[in-house]
Structure 1
Amino acid sequence: MDQDIHREAIQYERLTQEIYTAILKKEGINNITVEHNISLEGRSGVQHQIDVLWRFKQAGIEHAVLIECKNYASNLTLEKTRNFFGVLHDIGNVRGIIVTKTGYQSGAAKFAKFYGIQLKILRKPILEDWSGRIKNIRTHLEVSTLSSNDDKKLSIKVFLNAGNKDETKRLNKLIESGELKISLSSESYFLNKDNEIVGEKIGHWVLNQLKILDKEEGGPYVETISLKDKYILIKENEVDEVLVGVDKLEVTYYVEKFSSETISYGERIVDAILRDFDTEDVEHVKRNNEKH
């Protein structure tokens, strides 16, 4: 039992060390170290064990803040506060902070305030800590996407724009002979009139043009995408391949919808809250994903 109490006390001290390290880092304060379980010799020659020590330099002079950690389930007494004041007085040129879980007896609070000892509450959040704050977050997610079913695949119809009469005749002959070959896939690119790649891959570009978010689940839906100065190759990689303008694309597709809901509970997200005993201001919130 004593070992469990000792282990919990050490964990509470390390939690305090970590939280003050995070506070100082967030405030961008340099030349500061926050140490745990330090021994300091007082002016009397007596060694004092300090739970957490926070050192800093200002105008070339070193200062220190001593933090006394009390992992108590009851309010801290005047006796404990006076004992800590004796340590501060013996070491000299230091400021003091006491951190505990529950609170402070009235005499302890009065004594600490008179001698400038700051009193803090560090604990897991309780109901009153959520007053004026969002405790639980409910997230409802709806996703619209293209259908992946084999019988409801996206299809693209390409409307070509022949540049002149000769090109029109050639396309007509290819159509009549069944030799019109358009190699258009998700990996294809549009070309410019100089046969140079322009923009992103056609498959990705087409998906970004479709207005699927305002569609109900189902289909088929048909959207026409007009194009300007875009070309593709007919009979690509063959001797008689030809560059032809694209007038528009007619895209037929189906829509699928998915939904999910998650709830983020505050007591599972927040590991500890540091609150000032006098002002009741919350000074730091430690989340569970932070190292501890």
Structure 2
Amino acid sequence: MNRNTDYETFARDIYQELLAQDGLTVEVLHNQVIQGKAAKHQIDVFWEFDFAGVNHKVAIECKNYSNNVSIGKVRDFKSVIEDIGNTNGIIVTTKGFQSGAIEFAEHYGIQLIILREPLESDWEGEIRYLDTTIEVHDLSITNTFVKLDLVWFKENFPDIDPKSVDISFTGLNNEMYIVDELGNKLTNFLELENNLREVFDSEGCTHFFPFSNGYMNTNDYGAIKIERVELTYETSKTRSKHVFDRQLFTKALVHDIRAGKIKFIKK
């Protein structure tokens, strides 16, 4: 393919996407020969569809120029779409249009579009770079201690010295519950750890969770009363910065001359 053919297929692909964004499933065609009233015409990009019993046709003339399109080119295209009849005309180019061409096209309802890949200058007044900083705070438990209610323990196990007996608690943090004297669940270790994320010190410390009527199930002694749970933890902090350049993810600029609107088409 040559550069002009490449530009024509580029225009076809962009308009296919624009129509899809508007909810139309029309196929946009490249390099079509259309029969007019007096002659056949080669059209760079073309599509048509019926809506509410009315036929709509669109013809696009592609001008991959390094200079502004002249009024003569617009006149020539006007003759083509008038011969085809009932056709909306669009001229797309990479550079721009002469002032006379703009006035002529506006008078006859021909749409003029600058269509190309975006340049550095196109981002003036637009948000191009998006800087994102993400700071993640992480917390890890380094030690867990359950303080027994020794008065209660001595009253209920008078023959056992709680300082020398081996009392163990086993389970996953979301399964190890603190309950009341009736066995109703108050909280579990996972919930306690999650609560730390609201109070933790950046340097790390020990946090105390007191219970006036809390019990825990042990492996050997059943439910025993506790005074508190102590969680010692460490924290870490990581920060990452990302710069998102919209130009790297933009494949086309569509500048409607008459409306003065610019649209960036994502890749």
Shared fold per TM-score greater than 0.5: yes
Gap change, CA 1:256 and 1:111, over 3 Å in 2: same
Give the structure 2 partner of residue 40 of structure 1. 34
Gap change, CA 1:188 and 1:97, over 3 Å in 2: same
| 8 A contact 1:100–1:122 mirrored in 2 | yes
Amino acid at match of 2:223: L
Within-5 A mapping of 1:1-292? 3-25=1-23, 32-37=25-30, 38-44=32-38, 46-53=40-47, 55-57=49-51, 59-146=52-139, 154-160=142-148, 169-170=156-157, 173=160, 175-186=162-173, 188-190=175-177, 202-203=189-190, 205-211=191-197, 215-216=201-202, 219-226=203-210, 232-235=216-219, 242-244=222-224, 248-282=228-262, 284-287=263-266, 290=267
Higher strand share: 2
**1:119: Cα distance to partner?**
0.9
Gap change, CA 1:198 and 1:10, over 3 Å in 2: farther
Query: Structure 1: any 5+ residue segments left out of the alignment?
Result: 148-152
**1:96: Cα distance to partner?**
1.5
Count residues with an aligned counterpart. 265
| 8 A contact 1:137–1:265 mirrored in 2 | yes
TM-score, normalised to structure 2, is 0.80
Give the structure 2 partner of residue 150 of structure 1. none
TM-score, normalised to structure 1, is 0.74
Amino acid at match of 2:133: H
Query: Structure 2: any 5+ residue segments left out of the alignment?
Result: none
**1:171: Cα distance to partner?**
9.2
Instruction: State how far apart, in whole Å, the 1-side matches of 2:154 and 2:33 are.
Output: 91
Amino acid at match of 1:257: K
Instruction: State how far apart, in whole Å, the 1-side matches of 2:95 and 2:61 are.
Output: 14
Identity of aligned residues (%): 25
Gap change, CA 1:143 and 1:78, over 3 Å in 2: same
Instruction: State how far apart, in whole Å, the 1-side matches of 2:256 and 2:48 are.
Output: 18
CA-based RMSD of the aligned residues comes to 3.4
